[in-house]
Structure 1
């Protein structure tokens, strides 16, 4: 009986997604998964993050079935390390457990051939989590399916500062090579190749191999970006549905894409004017 029901659900989703595909399908959706702790408090469970992970797996499946090529999630901010030590440790333990699960043979990662990225200051993670993160990126690096980017120990300001630092180091090395090749100081100073540009910064962002998000969704009704993808969100369609993250479902995702499709002509027009 459950198999029949599952097959009917799959058929329904295929029909629904084929209708959606008449309009523009976003290449990249980013999620701020807000509301796990409030969900736990409201439902009187020990942690909402475990339920939130189940919601994430479902949302990833729907996104990839629709045709979304990139999904980025805000999993843990650098600011979250300021929470109670036992809460941080519990979250880190759960994160390691779930990353390891994603690498199992029958996981969604292997089903769809997902390549996993982890963006952030990974040195802030404890050794166990960092090793799992590195293993996930290494084991999926050759996958050719959709891309899942997990922002962990991340803030956008830290990402931008990191990109500036890397760009400056690159330019310093370039200037050293130019001096070694006999260029005069005056020529070096005027050479535009030694100046840090927007292109240089974007090359050193964590997101350098991903397009900017078409949609950024923050659940729980909050309207703040909370230091998430500030550089990349200039033309993103920002949405703040009211469900808490563990409650976010297929119908909310479909509504988000429909809202994006309605706004698409305006977003395209604004983007062209800025080019």
Structure 2
């Protein structure tokens, strides 16, 4: 058994866990944001830094997402939105895209089989984006995972994949215009900022307005993620840490 300052490491790890839980309980008593978004950037660079393949960095990133999601649920945050795969990511090397699709299917199947975290906290899963671009087997896994959580109403997890803000905004405008055309008397005044916002993908399941936007890896731009939602009331934070390392100390 390894000891530090006369204490076994297992005991110190237990104390650390309890202190983190205590801190979360204290924080949850104060003003809490309703909707937090994470642009999970830096998985590939983290993998290169540690001498491993890109897909291993993405796998590490998934485990970080699990930890961050549990923290958010303990803080009673209503909605978490994450950027999992951009439409332009299909331009990456075919072997990396294939590995990512396989990893996505495995994780979705895992959720559909047990979904312990989502079930424990009553989290509804929404996969948002240009889903018809995904392989058929991934689409099937998405439908199963979403169906398993559809009755959950305590919290929401929006996974954006494959996603781009321009596509989301364009789709919302098309929906609003079609709704106006479907009325007996066309009235262009019904096409407003509010009506477009109500047709954005992130409104699915009752997602509230975005309070906090966090991007990891030190890159200081939105890169096509939630560009409409990042309004004047959203706090935007760019942090240097790579996503797999973005976790409690």
Deviation at 1:8, TM superposition (A): 3.4
Deviation at 1:248, TM superposition (A): 0.4
Deviation at 1:240, TM superposition (A): 1.1
Match of 2:123 among 77, 92, 114: 114
Partner of 1:260: none
Aligned partners of 2:201 and 2:35: how far apart in 1?
Answer: 15
Decide which structure has greater helix share. Answer: 1
Q: 8 Å contact 1:122–1:153 — kept in the other structure?
A: yes
- Mean alpha-carbon deviation: is it higher for 59-68 or for 152-161? 59-68
Aligned partners of 2:116 and 2:78: how far apart in 1?
Answer: 18
Partner of 1:268: none
Q: What whole-Å deviation, never above 9, does each CA across 1:107-157 have from its counterpart, x for those lacking one?
A: 211222211001101001010111111111111110122210000010011
Q: 1:102 aligns to what SS in structure 2?
A: helix
Partner of 1:266: none
Aligned partners of 2:91 and 2:115: how far apart in 1?
Answer: 36
Aligned partners of 1:78 and 1:134: how far apart in 2?
Answer: 19
Q: 8 Å contact 2:25–2:74 — kept in the other structure?
A: no
Aligned partners of 1:100 and 1:71: how far apart in 2?
Answer: 20
Q: What's the RMSD between the two structures over aligned residues?
A: 2.0
Unaligned runs of 5+ in 1: 179-187, 252-275
- Name which one, 1 or 2, has greater alpha-carbon Rg: 1
TM-score, length of structure 1 as denominator length: 0.80
TM-score, length of structure 2 as denominator length: 0.88
Match of 1:100 among 109, 126, 133: 109
Runs of 4+ in 1 over 4 A off after TM superposition: 1-7
Describe how 1:142-221 pairs up with structure 2 within 5 A. Answer: 142-174=151-183, 178=184, 188=185, 191=187, 195-208=190-203, 209-221=206-218
Give the number of equivalent residue pairs: 237
1:57 aligns with 2:66: yes
Q: 8 Å contact 1:35–1:220 — kept in the other structure?
A: yes
Aligned partners of 1:210 and 1:106: how far apart in 2?
Answer: 20
Aligned partners of 2:153 and 2:15: how far apart in 1?
Answer: 29
